[in-house]
Amino acid sequence: MKTVKDATGTPYEAAKHFGVFGLQKFVEESKRVKVFYSYFQPNGGAEMAGSPTEKIYYVANGSITANGKNESHVLNKGDLIFIGANEEREMKVNGGKPAEVLVFIITP
């Protein structure tokens, strides 16, 4: 078992993200799952891109919009979205307030 306390983690900068403060919360403990805490500042987000890993974004606070090639999803506190491997998406913060997001990355 492994406990990760709230205020712990290693700061990181996610590629193609802007206006985001991130903490690596659970990275080396598992071969398949990594967990990051992302604090999206107002007007923050992520550029349209995909990656070879699956992702789950869980909105712990605030609101973000996840745009795919042909779809758009507004996510509020308590909502989550699954993004498949190589599925392109962009993210943006809604409403001019920060958003706190737990990001789970699952590798094959």
d(CA 29, CA 71): 34
Domain ranges across the chain: 10-106
Q: What would the pLDDT profile of 18-72 be if each residue is shown by its tens digit?
A: 999 999 998 888 889 999 999 999 999 999 999 999 999 999 999 999 999 999 9
On whether the CB atoms of residues 31 and 105 are closer than 8 A, the answer is no
Q: What is the pLDDT of residue 27?
A: 80
> Residue 58 has what pLDDT?
98
Taking only the tens place, the pLDDT of each residue in 69-83 is 999 999 999 999 999
pLDDT confidence band for 86 (50 / 70 / 90) = very high
Give 7's pLDDT tier (boundaries 50, 70, 90): confident
Total residues found in the chain within this entry: 108
Look at residue 78 in the predicted model and tell me its pLDDT. 98
Looking at the domain 10-106, which fold is it?
Jelly Rolls (2.60.120)
User: What is the sign, positive or negative, of the torsion defined by CA atoms of 36, 76, 90, 56?
Assistant: positive
Helix, strand, coil distribution of the chain in percent, nearest 5: 0, 60, 40
